[in-house]
Structure 1
Amino acid sequence: MSLAQETRKRRTFAIISHPDAGKTTLTEKLLLFSGAIHIAGSVKARKASRHATSDWMEIEKQRGISVASSVMQMLYRDHVINLLDTPGHKDFSEDTYRVLTAVDSALMVIDAANGVEAQTKRLIEVCRQRDTPIITFVNKMDREGRDPISLLDEIEAELGMPCVPMTWPVGQGKAFGGIVNLRQRNMRLFAAGADKRSDDDEIVPLERRDELHARFGHDWELAEGNMELLAEAAPAFDLEAFLAAKQTPVFFGSAVNNFGVQEVLDALADLAPSPRPRLSTRKDGGTVEIAPEREGFSGVVFKVQANMDPSHRDRIAFLRVCSGKYTPGMKLKVQRSGKELRPTSVVTFLSQRREAVEEAYAGDIIGFTTHGGVQLGDTITEGESLQYTGLPFFAPELFQTVELANPMKSKQLQAGLMQLGEEGAIQVFRPEVGGSMLLGAVGQLQFEVVQHRLKAEYGVDIRLMPCRFVGARWVTCDDEAAMRKFTAEAASKLALDAADTLAYMMTSPYDLRLTQERHPKVVFHPLREHSGLALQTS
Structure 2
Amino acid sequence: RRAAGLMFNLLDTPGHEDFSEDTYRTLTAADAAIMVLDAAKGIEPQTLKLFEVCRLRDIPIITFINKMDREAQDPLELLDEVSSKLALDPVPLYWPAGSGNRFRGMIDLRGEQFIPYAKKSSNDDEGHPEPVSLKANSLAQFMSEQEQAEAEEGAELILGASKPFEVKSFLEGHMTPVFFGSALRHFGVDQLLQGIGDFAPPPHPAKVDKAGEPSEIAPGDSEVSGFVFKVQANMDPNHRDRIAFFRLTSGKFARGMKLKSQGTGKQISVNAPIMFFASDRELAEEAFAGDVIGIPNHGVLRVGDSLSETGTLRFAGLPNFAPEILRRVRVKDPLKAKHLKKALEGLAEEGVTQLFRPEIGSDFIVGAVGQLQFEVMADRLGGEYALDVVFEASPFAEARWLAGAPADVEDFASKHRSAMATDIDNQTVFLAKSAWEIGYVAERYPKVQFLRTRERG
TM-score, normalization by structure 2: 0.89
Q: Tell me which residue corresponds to 2:159.
A: 231
Give the residue type in structure 2 aligned to 1:527: T
Give the residue type in structure 2 aligned to 1:112: A
Give the 3-state SS of the residue equivalent to 2:73 in structure 1.
coil
Matched, 1:300 2:227: yes
Shift, 1:222, TM fit: 0.9
Shift, 1:433, TM fit: 5.0
Q: Tell me which residue corresponds to 2:262.
A: 335
Matched, 1:503 2:429: yes
Deviates more, 1:502-511 or 1:300-309: 502-511
Q: Contact conserved, 1:168 with 1:179, CA < 8 A, in 2?
A: yes
Q: Tell me which residue corresponds to 1:461.
A: 388
Shift, 1:421, TM fit: 0.5
Where structure 2 has 5 or more consecutive residues not aligned to the other structure, the ranges are: none
Q: Tell me which residue corresponds to 1:164.
A: 91
Matched, 1:430 2:349: no
Give the 3-state SS of the residue equivalent to 1:460 in structure 2.
coil
Q: Tell me which residue corresponds to 1:413.
A: 340
Give the 3-state SS of the residue equivalent to 2:10 in structure 1.
strand
CA distance in 2, matches of 1:470, 1:164: 40
Shift, 1:245, TM fit: 2.0
Deviations 1:181-218 (A, max 9, x none): 23343222211221344745333222305743884221
Q: Contact conserved, 2:20 with 2:372, CA < 8 A, in 1?
A: no
Q: Tell me which residue corresponds to 2:134.
A: 206
CA distance in 1, matches of 2:156, 2:110: 14
Deviations 1:423-443 (A, max 9, x none): 111111234455122212233
Deviates more, 1:510-519 or 1:265-274: 510-519
Give the residue type in structure 2 aligned to 1:501: Q
Give the residue type in structure 1 aligned to 2:424: A
Q: How does 1:6-85 map to 2 (within 5 A)?
A: 74-85=1-12
Task: Give the alignment's Cα RMSD to 1 decimal.
Answer: 2.9
Q: Contact conserved, 1:198 with 1:258, CA < 8 A, in 2?
A: no
Q: Tell me which residue corresponds to 1:366.
A: 293
Q: Tell me which residue corresponds to 1:269.
A: 197
Shift, 1:131, TM fit: 2.7
Change (3 A) 1:441 1:265: same
Give the 3-state SS of the residue equivalent to 1:256 in structure 2.
coil
Q: Tell me which residue corresponds to 1:23.
A: none
Q: Contact conserved, 2:17 with 2:372, CA < 8 A, in 1?
A: no
Change (3 A) 1:177 1:282: same
Change (3 A) 1:306 1:411: farther
Give the 3-state SS of the residue equivalent to 1:349 in structure 2.
strand
Deviations 1:273-296 (A, max 9, x none): 111111223555x63222121120
Give the 3-state SS of the residue equivalent to 2:424 in structure 1.
coil
* Counterpart selection for 1:95 from 19, 22, 25: 22
Q: Contact conserved, 1:198 with 1:262, CA < 8 A, in 2?
A: no
Matched, 1:115 2:42: yes
Q: Contact conserved, 1:237 with 1:249, CA < 8 A, in 2?
A: yes
Shift, 1:368, TM fit: 0.9
CA distance in 2, matches of 1:464, 1:236: 52
Shift, 1:94, TM fit: 2.5
Q: Tell me which residue corresponds to 2:322.
A: 395
Q: Contact conserved, 1:90 with 1:119, CA < 8 A, in 2?
A: no
Deviations 1:99-146 (A, max 9, x none): 111101111112222222322233223323333211111111112222
* Counterpart selection for 2:145 from 217, 228, 238: 217
| Identical-residue share of aligned pairs (%) | 44
Change (3 A) 1:528 1:482: same
Deviations 1:327-363 (A, max 9, x none): 1111111111122122342111113321111111111
Give the 3-state SS of the residue equivalent to 1:82 in structure 2.
coil
Change (3 A) 1:522 1:203: closer
Matched, 1:127 2:54: yes
Q: Contact conserved, 1:398 with 1:440, CA < 8 A, in 2?
A: yes
Q: Tell me which residue corresponds to 1:4.
A: none
CA distance in 2, matches of 1:245, 1:514: 35
Q: Contact conserved, 1:396 with 1:472, CA < 8 A, in 2?
A: yes
Change (3 A) 1:420 1:76: farther
Where structure 1 has 5 or more consecutive residues not aligned to the other structure, the ranges are: 1-73, 532-538
Matched, 1:529 2:455: yes
CA distance in 2, matches of 1:359, 1:98: 24
Q: Tell me which residue corresponds to 1:31.
A: none
Change (3 A) 1:231 1:465: closer
Deviations 1:241-269 (A, max 9, x none): 22222222111111111111111122122
Change (3 A) 1:196 1:270: farther
Change (3 A) 1:487 1:283: farther
CA distance in 2, matches of 1:359, 1:229: 50
